Structure 1
Amino acid sequence: MILHDLISFDILRVIWWALLGVLLIGFALTDGFDLGVGALLPFVGKSDTERRVIINTIGPVWEGNQVWFILGGGAIFAAWPPLYAVSFSGFYLAMFLVLAALILRPVGFKYRSKRESATWRTTWDWALFVGGAVPALIFGVAVGNVLQGVPFYLTPDMLMPMYEGNSIMKLLGLLNPYALLAGVVSLSMLLMHGSAWLGLKTEGVIADRARRIGSIAGIVAALSYALAGLWLAFGIEGYQIVGEVVKDGPSNPLFSEVVRGGSWMDAYAIRPWIAVAPIMGFVGIALAVMGLRAGREVSTLLWSKLAIFGIISSVGLTMFPFILPSTVDPSSSLTVWDSSSSHLTLFVMLVCAVIFMPLILAYTSWVYKVLWGKVAEDDVTQNSQSY
């Protein structure tokens, strides 16, 4: 028996679908509070020293947290090549905006304290705000568009995806009402998460302001998430595979027959257990908001993480087995069963993941243990190495 035959092709596809979700959730759980803190910076920090304290709560860890983002992109490239090709082509301008915003973060950290000028530092503070708020919003907008479907189709030879409209029209098309609502869910969720982090890592007026804003953000996240769910249930058509589903067949989406119809929420009738995901989302938000108002620290951050885990996983579980549906040609829609790499590729990647992911988790845990504790004003005013 060939070694990679120990795990069947269909099982490997589901494993890598789940691992992709783990990587994306891992990014949201870790770098998500970095984005939230950046978006909160101009509003929570009123003086230069306070803003330096806020920046130094994430300064030592943000680069390591982006490992999950890089791993997620690499996993899409290697495990789901059609998804990589279609999404990176169709969402090119949106991704360019995200990357441009993310570039502002290291530049802002590096240059903010180079001059004593208040105007100079305030400018970079707003650059850090953009570096946090824009990605948080655009990631949610992308998810909202995925749930609605993307206007692409595959050529018969599978050489390239084709899109309707020019680049500007595609970008404007992404900014539709439902996608913007999903962006509000994402942004408010990460603002709550960033507030929970600041409540853990700071003290005094900074922590108090962060908790007040985080409580409001949590309420907005819960209301917008509920509204997005109702809209998805009653206002957006779902997708269905008709005919026999070949789970271990070739990776060619055009071999499957997909039609639009019904609702994405039909998945909850077929697999009732997936309701645990949105329940975790709402419970996590409620307990995080209560923790922020009560001034609790570690538990609040954990509840915020539970909310993020539930909200993001609810999207994947609701759509399964679809990964990226097409509004132009439903049969071009990408699913778990027909858009992966080969059996051998997925197996080799799984072996690498089993070896290296525990090392990444162990190292990350060690870093957070070393950096445990609050950042006080004396830490930034008396340390020449701080931001």
Structure 2
Amino acid sequence: MEIPLSFELLRVIWWALLGVLLIGFAITDGFDLGVAGLLPFVARTDAERRLAINTVGPTWEGNQVWLILGGGAIFAAWPLVYAVSFSSFYLAMFVVLASLILRPVAFKYRSKREDPRWRRFWDWALFTGGFVPALIFGVAVGNVLVGAPFRMNDDMRIFWDGSFFGLLNPFALLCGLLSVTMLFLHGAAWLSMKTEYGVVRDRARAYAPIFAFASIVLFALAGAWVAFGDLGYQVTNTVAADGPSNPRFTETVREGGAWLSNYGRYPWMVIAPVLGFGGAALALFGLRSNSEALTFIGSKLSVVGIISTVGVSMFPFILPSSVDPNASLTVWNASSSHMTLFVMLIVTAVLLPIVLAYTAWAFKVMWGRVTTEAIAKGDYY
């Protein structure tokens, strides 16, 4: 069967689709994580906490679909990346999953008893389920930029030379803090738009400028670290973009500041960091002008820009190796077969619009501010 799209083009399409899925998760479930992380600070009474929780209660399960789609895309389109990352970062992923599991348990059990200590326990469980994943996701991205400590032998058997605490290097922690501030800004913007006029909304609006400013500062610090630190990798030989998926055909060297070289070759990529800074600035402007829509749009654009900056800066790398650069995984050497990518693209072209349409419909149906009066009368969390 002749495939109408080239192998090179399909690889680039799936690289872009992977980014879209990860951004989709950060935009949708990101404000869920932000709201959960902000819960102990914006809501001080049981009624206030129920108000905050119910802004995300109806939609958080659907939002997690994007995380599943992202994991599935890595497994099917980039099997080598899946094999290295899901096995090497196993303990970190276990911590993330354990934290994420706390959320549905807390949602279901928090209101089963009226004991304040019982509810306070589950409130802190929700905080953990929001803060820890936001932090670990950022730490993971930081380690991807630094390079993961894995290597391969001649049979492409994978060996991991790192440790869980080795992942907590200074640059990765900086990225983790950036992830927290970015998603907490998103959560604060969501709360200011979804809660009734009152103390919860006011507190969310008071915290939002802090996280917006912190996002700008931390994003700038991360960029400076990349520019002046020993970060970045370069492919030194000519690799066939439509060649076989074998990392051993790629010769790679570590080169400080190399993650910025794409902006010279493809100037349009500068749109990504501009969105990262501009989105946070727009959120600040929205807060000052009392426009909740602008604040939320700004927080979303900031999420899109910051995550996109990582992807376009690293292209064609997906997961570089810090101990054996020649084992680094790229768009050209780590994908599934030509036929697999094509069949997956057809399935995605059919199913992804359905997911998008259903998501849009669900948010439309459940739109509107959450009020304490409605919570007191209805069956809410």
Indicate the TM-score class for this superposition, using the shorter chain for normalisation. over 0.9
Q: C-alpha separation between the residues in 2 aligned to 1:293 and 1:42? A: 25
| Aligned position for 2:179 | 186
| Aligned position for 1:259 | 253
Matching residue within 64, 67, 74 for 1:66: 64
Deviation at 1:293, TM superposition (A): 3.6
Contact 1:54/1:198 (<8 A) preserved: yes
| Aligned position for 1:226 | 220
Q: C-alpha separation between the residues in 2 aligned to 1:278 and 1:303? A: 14
Secondary structure at 1:240 match in 2 = strand
| Aligned position for 1:330 | 325
1:280-324: CA deviation from partner (whole Å, max 9, x where unpaired): 110100111221243322221111111110110000000000000
| Aligned position for 1:363 | 358
| Aligned position for 1:54 | 52
1:4-83 equivalences in 2 (<5 Å): 5-83=3-81
| Aligned position for 2:168 | 175
Q: C-alpha separation between the residues in 2 aligned to 1:193 and 1:320? A: 27
Q: Could you tell me which amino acid in structure 2 is paired with residue 256 of structure 1?
A: T
Q: C-alpha separation between the residues in 2 aligned to 1:377 and 1:67? A: 29
Q: C-alpha separation between the residues in 1 aligned to 2:102 and 2:173? A: 23
| Aligned position for 1:127 | 125
| Aligned position for 1:208 | 202
Secondary structure at 2:234 match in 1 = strand
| Aligned position for 2:137 | 139
Contact 1:212/1:292 (<8 A) preserved: no
Task: Write out the 4+ residue segments of structure 1 that deviate beyond 3 Å after TM superposition.
Answer: none
1:44-69: CA deviation from partner (whole Å, max 9, x where unpaired): 01110010011000000000000000
Deviation at 1:271, TM superposition (A): 1.5
Matching residue within 309, 317, 323 for 2:312: 317
| Aligned position for 1:376 | 371
Matching residue within 159, 162, 179 for 1:162: 159
1:199 aligns with 2:192: yes
Identity %: 61
Q: C-alpha separation between the residues in 2 aligned to 1:107 and 1:291? A: 35
TM-score normalized by structure 2?
0.98
Secondary structure at 1:259 match in 2 = strand
Q: C-alpha separation between the residues in 1 aligned to 2:144 and 2:161? A: 16
Q: Could you tell me which amino acid in structure 2 is paired with residue 70 of structure 1?
A: I
Please tell me the root mean square deviation across aligned C-alpha atoms, in Å.
Answer: 0.9
Deviation at 1:210, TM superposition (A): 0.3
Point out the more displaced range, 122-131 or 260-269.
260-269
Q: C-alpha separation between the residues in 2 aligned to 1:236 and 1:228? A: 12
Contact 2:229/2:256 (<8 A) preserved: no
Note the residue ranges of structure 2 that are not aligned, 5 or more in a row.
none
Contact 2:320/2:329 (<8 A) preserved: yes
Q: C-alpha separation between the residues in 1 aligned to 2:153 and 2:336? A: 19
Q: Could you tell me which amino acid in structure 2 is paired with residue 235 of structure 1?
A: G
Point out the more displaced range, 69-78 or 268-277.
268-277
Contact 1:57/1:375 (<8 A) preserved: yes
Q: C-alpha separation between the residues in 1 aligned to 2:359 and 2:230? A: 40
Deviation at 1:262, TM superposition (A): 4.2
Contact 1:211/1:293 (<8 A) preserved: no
Secondary structure at 1:248 match in 2 = coil
1:352 aligns with 2:350: no
Q: C-alpha separation between the residues in 1 aligned to 2:289 and 2:48? A: 22
How many positions carry a matched residue from both structures?
379
1:296 aligns with 2:291: yes
Q: C-alpha separation between the residues in 1 aligned to 2:210 and 2:230? A: 28
Q: Could you tell me which amino acid in structure 2 is paired with residue 195 of structure 1?
A: A
| Aligned position for 1:305 | 300
1:310-342: CA deviation from partner (whole Å, max 9, x where unpaired): 110000000000000001111100000000000
Q: C-alpha separation between the residues in 1 aligned to 2:12 and 2:239? A: 14
Contact 2:279/2:298 (<8 A) preserved: yes
| Aligned position for 1:250 | 244
Contact 2:239/2:249 (<8 A) preserved: no
Q: Could you tell me which amino acid in structure 1 is paired with residue 173 of structure 2?
A: L
